[in-house]
Chains A and B, each alone.
Chain A
Amino acid sequence: MSTSILSRPEGTTRSYPAYSRPLWRRALFTREFAVIALLVAVIFYSNNNVEFFDGPLTFYYLFLDIAPILLIALPMTMVIITGEIDLSVASVVGLSSVLVGQLHADAGLSIPVAGLIALLVGALCGAFNGFLVAYVGLPSLAVTIGTLALYRGIAVGLLGTKAVTDFPEKWTDLAKERIVEGSSYPMILVPFLVLAVLFVWMLHFSTFGRGVFEIGLNDEAAHFTGVNVARTKFLLFVMAGVVSAFVGIYYTLRFGSARGDNATGLELQVIAAVLLGGVSIFGGRGALHGVIAGVLLIGVISSAMRLENYTVNKINIVIGTLLVLSVISTTLLSWIKGLWSRRGRGSSPTSSETGQDRQAVAAQESTNER
């Protein structure tokens, strides 16, 4: 393909919808930025109004607590953007936790070896999900509900009702260690940041990532534009499995306890955070900075409310309400944008005035994402 076709003809202005607004407005008036703004507001409010929130331990514990959600949210975001879902992640965490415990305690393997095997099993779990979804063509919701029970069942079956608690202090301390002595950043942020950079690159700056968005918008169209739909989905499920297994290792070492029921219900917390971060459950739309802000927002709200001695039920009510509001806000935002484009750019050929207005706006939004 010659570059002369791709290069922009001199003197013409862009007319397609994505560039109808200036850069600052495209960057600021997004779901992602709304979440970031809310996060800043909540941190600012908590710093001033919540006793002990500005203490040295707050963010240290916060990061330790939300690290599992942060980590799994990375592959989960990509899975959801393709329009699929993976409900089995928490069960993989449990299975990996049990494996690390058993391989260490019963088989006498060292933690790195046991961890490596757990990661492999995590990849296998993900590959099984991915195979059924991508190559057999089963709906991911049904497949992963099945494997949610299956992997958890294997985990509880392997260890029974016991818990392995005998881990070398060197490793359990590492899970809680700070990067720099006295700072608020635990060591687990290092693997997270590495993975975050990797996933941001993969989703937003690579052809693979563009394929992910296209599959979410229309997988048939994606197929015809040359995206290997099945392989992309398969790889995403494998990634979800591996990252979940890694979280299982962290979980085990952080609590010094390998149990079959570790991290029960974590999958819903992850999905809630991903949706709060602006990813569309229907696929095709979302960005990782919004998701990371979403996870942090949930963490900060829980932490601040616990410091104010609210019970867990009230914390859940607030986070649940926030999630519902954020889902409604997408519809509301498109509606307002629709009104705006109808009023402001009535004569523009790209803005639709028909009943398909909503679709046009949705398409415009998704173009924004790329």
Chain B
Amino acid sequence: MKLRNRRISALAAVTLVAGLALTACGSSDSGGGSDGGSDGGSAGGDISVTFLPKNLGNPYFDISDAAGKAAVESFGGTFEEVGPDAASPDAQVPFINTAAQQGVSALVVSANDPEALCDALNEASEAGTKIVTFDSDTNPDCRDLYIQAATTEGIAKKQVDLIAEQIGDAGEVAILSAAANATNQNAWIDLMKKDIAENHPNIKLVDTVYGDDDDQTSFDKTAALLSAHPNLKGIISPTTVGIAAAARYLSTSDAKGKVALTGLGTPNQMRDYVKDGTVTAFALWNPGDLGTLAAFAAKALVDGTIKGDEGDSFDAGELGSFKVGADSVVLLGEPFTYDKSNIDDFDF
């Protein structure tokens, strides 16, 4: 008897949950049909652009998203920035799904994985959302346009040239990267390896470590690199989080001035380290311009001015006019070298 009563109450509660889930979903189904029409109507009127960076709290994306916001507001659209707190593809998917549900006009994404986001992006695309990737691309068939900061070759070569110059074109170097699966990082690393092997026979790449674009992890990995390779002459960190963390470690260690550091960084993060001699020179495009260009590209797609085909050209405000290249890629320009002489001219 005791057990039976307990069972009845448990059963009652389970039925309640089940019934609840069913009714809740049932009503959402019926609501969906009527909503579909009105969504389509409103999307045509004003442009809503959602920026989805690799992760939030990343200074690099803070800059591009701020510039993207300014650009979107300049043409009267509504801007949203959403994103996960860790740079992983599975964490980005729910945000892409949400954008599809909201029926935003365009989604501007920096992809944590070339393949894992594809299905979600395609679903959003079917819902009428234009997909622009920037900074880190997906497979070309999962997006309408890719805004590339600089050519992969250009960036890889620039960093190898910088480190070669700083260590006298000989000695051991290591790479401190972001997430192990980041599309752009791996493309650069492959080309850097090739460039070093072909053009810099005296430079030896001894290690590649991954700081996951996390300040503390990158800091620890730098420490580990220095103790594992006592003869290390230089570190290349093609990520803004990594280079800043590595510079912070080097600036307070014995290796300051002995181990050269270069890579991709932002002037505000690196200013102190350039001035105190930890870092001689580093490279980057302007992430703000990248965000602006992505926003205008999204607008051109939504307006129907361009379709994302090779040869299309569109206007990007004060940045001028841009042409779509092969594989629907838009190129921003060549990377720029920051050093002691010019760093004070930049504030981002």
A36 to B97 alpha-carbon distance, docked (Å): 26
Cβ contact within 8 Å between A204 and B7: yes
Given contacts A8-B1, A55-B31, A185-B25, contact A307 B98 (CB under 8 A): yes
Please tell me which one of the listed residues B12, B81, B85, B90 contacts residue A262 in the complex, with CB atoms under 8 A apart: B90
CB distance from A339 to the nearest CB of B (A): 24
Closest 7 CB pairs of A and B: A56-B32, A54-B31, A161-B180, A165-B115, A257-B116, A27-B9, A61-B97
B24 contacts A251, CB within 8 Å?
no
- A352 lies within 8 A of chain B by Cβ: no
- 0/1 interface trace, chain B 98-129, chain A, CB 8 Å (1 if under): 10111100000000011110110000000100
Minimum CB distance partner of A263 in chain B: B90
Contact of B102 among A51, A172, A176, A316 (CB under 8 A): A51
**Interface check B280, CB cutoff 8 A:** no
The residue among B39, B84, B88 with the most chain A CB atoms within 10 A of its own CB is B88
**Cross-chain contact of B115 among A33, A163, A289 (Cβ < 8 A):** A163
Provide 6 A-B residue pairs closer than 8 Å at the C-beta atoms, listed in order of the A residue.
A52-B101, A55-B28, A65-B97, A200-B14, A263-B90, A303-B98
Nearest CB in chain A to that of B82: its residue? A309
Residues A57 and B88 in contact, CB atoms below 8 Å apart: no
Q: Give the contact-size bracket for chain B.
A: 35 or more
* Residues on the A chain within 8 Å of B12, using CB: 27
- The binding surface of chain B is classed by DSSP as helix
- Give the contacting residue for A311; candidates B3, B29, B56; CB below 8 A: B56
- Rounded to whole angstroms, the CA-CA distance of A289 and B20 in the bound complex is 12
Q: Complex: how many Å from CA A288 to CA B11?
A: 11
Write the nearest CB–CB distance from A4 to chain B, whole angstroms: 15
Residue A284 at the chain B interface, CB threshold 8 Å: no
Q: Which residue of A lies closest to B180 (CB)?
A: A161
A26 near B29: Cβ-Cβ < 8 Å:
no
User: Beyond A54-B27, A370-B6, is A287–B13 a contact (Cβ under 8 Å)?
Assistant: yes
A313 to B115, CA, bound (A): 26
Tell me how many residues of A have a C-beta within 8 Å of chain B.
66
Residues of chain B whose beta carbon lies under 8 Å from any beta carbon of chain A: 1-3, 5-10, 12-14, 16-17, 20-21, 24-25, 27-29, 31-33, 35-36, 39, 56, 80-86, 88-91, 93-95, 97-98, 100-103, 113-116, 118-119, 127, 179-181, 186, 210
A77 to chain B, nearest CB (A): 13
Q: Is the CB of B181 within 8 A of A57?
A: no
Closest residue of chain B to A54 (Cβ to Cβ) is B31
Chain A residue at minimal CB-CB distance from B6 = A370
- Contacts A47-B28, A172-B119, A257-B116: A57 and B13 contacting too (C-beta < 8 A)? no
Query: Quick one: closest B residue to A18, CB to CB?
Result: B2
Q: Which residues of A contact B103 (CB under 8 A)?
A: 52
Chain B residues with CB under 8 Å of A182's CB are: 29
Q: Are A289 and B10 in contact (CB under 8 A)?
A: yes
Asked whether A233 is an interface residue with its Cβ less than 8 Å from the other chain, the reply is: no
- CA–CA, A307 and B99, complex, Å: 8
Within 8 A of B (CB), among A326-370: 368-370
Contact of A61 among B24, B29, B83, B101 (CB under 8 A): B101
Q: Nearest B residue to A44 by beta-carbon distance?
A: B24
Segment 6-59 of A: residues with Cβ below 8 Å from B: 8, 18-19, 23, 26-27, 32-33, 36, 39-40, 43, 47, 51-59
